[in-house]
Amino acid sequence: MKPLLAIQHLSRRFAGQLAVNDISFELHAGEVLGFLGPNGAGKSTTMRMISGGLAPTGGKIEINGIDLLEYPLKAKSSLGYLPENPPLYPELTVDEYLRFAGELRKIPKSDLARAVESVKNQCGLSDSGKRLIANLSKGYQQRVGIAQAIIHDPAVVILDEPTNGLDPNQIQEIRSLVRELGKTRGIILCTHILPEVQAACSRVMILHQGQLVFSDDLINLSRTQRNKLLLSLRNPPELQALNELPGVTRASATGPTRFRLEMHEQADATVIAQQVSANGWQLEEMRWEHEDLQQIFTRLTTSEVAA
């Protein structure tokens, strides 16, 4: 299947410094891609380049098979973009603004009213059409921002921190909206909120100091790393005794009654459980240690990237 968005060796230099360094990835229909990274990692710079607001120093961007740099107008017509700060005109009403966004995205006049109506329903703005954007709360302004990004039914939608400034209920709504949109389109969700990625995305990429340091499907993320066992014992033995259990390569203490056992690939956890109870160590808790997104993120973004 042809990707909706293909990025090849994308770089961007600001005053001699590489803000984005040789990034390549693809986005397919039906995918919600979580774009993670600490502040200043180059997320927004990448998004601005994909949206056509910033020219890359090097590399190639294809939207729906059309080269953005060669045919910007044609490529941008299948793109919706919500920047970090929602691009709103405070002096317009919601209806006027959305109509303007629709006209700008070349929606035919005959379809415009219908498009505005349907996008208002999708984003929970049905009752706010006549209100001035200046008078809307931050959450509603954010919704208007999302509405302008999807009004023309684009194949690729880029949302840069869409839940910024929303309350928990609104965040839930936006997440389910993102999942809904992601069924047929390709979506890039830029954020530094990890639970958001876990709640809405199918794939995650981590950007650090301008480089792509991690990229995997979220499903794989929960499957891997089944080689560390965490134990909590009420009556713990010497560390040496744990080391001698079958399948254990290395045991270490993480607290007075807590231990981490590093296991062989094919090791059987039930054998450990039997041994522990047979030795009278009084098992309180036993679970696989998953390296979750939080840990991966911390591990990858606190270290310096090798040049």
Q: Which of 7, 21, 29, 105 binds another protein (CB under 8 A)?
A: 105
**Count of Cβ atoms closer than 10 Å to residue 154 Cβ:** 22
Restricting to residues 113-152, which ones interact with another protein according to CB under 8 A?
Answer: 148
Q: Which backbone phi and psi does 193 adopt, to 5 degrees?
A: -100, 110
Does 73 sit near another protein (CB under 8 A)? yes
Q: Which of 9, 40, 100, 215 binds another protein (CB under 8 A)?
A: 100
Which of 145, 155, 171 lies closest to 3 in space, CA to CA?
Answer: 155
Across-strand partners of 23? 10
Q: Which stretch binds another protein (CB under 8 A): 44-52, 186-194, 198-206, 297-305?
A: 44-52
Q: Which of 74, 114, 264, 287 binds another protein (CB under 8 A)?
A: 74
Residue nearer to another protein on the CB measure, 108 or 256: 108
Helices (H), 123-224: 138-150, 168-181, 194-200, 218-223
Q: Are 50 and 118 in contact (CB under 8 A)?
A: no
Residue nearer to another protein on the CB measure, 43 or 251: 43
> What is the rounded distance in angstroms from the CA atom of residue 210 to the CA atom of residue 227?
31
Q: Which stretch binds another protein (CB under 8 A): 96-104, 121-129, 196-204, 211-219?
A: 96-104
Which of 195, 90, 98, 197 lies closest to 138 in space, CA to CA?
Answer: 90
SS3 category, 247: coil
Q: Are 292 and 258 in contact (CB under 8 A)?
A: no
Q: Which of 23, 34, 46, 81 binds another protein (CB under 8 A)?
A: 81
CB of 73 to another protein, least distance (A): 4
CB of 232 to another protein, least distance (A): 51
Helical pair 138-150 and 94-104, crossing angle rounded to 10 deg: 30
Q: Which of 27, 36, 41, 48 binds another protein (CB under 8 A)?
A: 48
Q: Which of 26, 95, 96, 117 binds another protein (CB under 8 A)?
A: 96
Which of 9, 85, 17 lies closest to 49 in space, CA to CA?
Answer: 9
Annotate each residue in 176-205 with x if it binds another protein (CB under 8 A) or - if it does not, as one string: ------------------------------
Task: Point out which residues bind another protein (CB under 8 A).
Answer: 14, 48, 51-55, 72-74, 76-77, 79-81, 83-89, 91-92, 96, 100-101, 103-106, 148
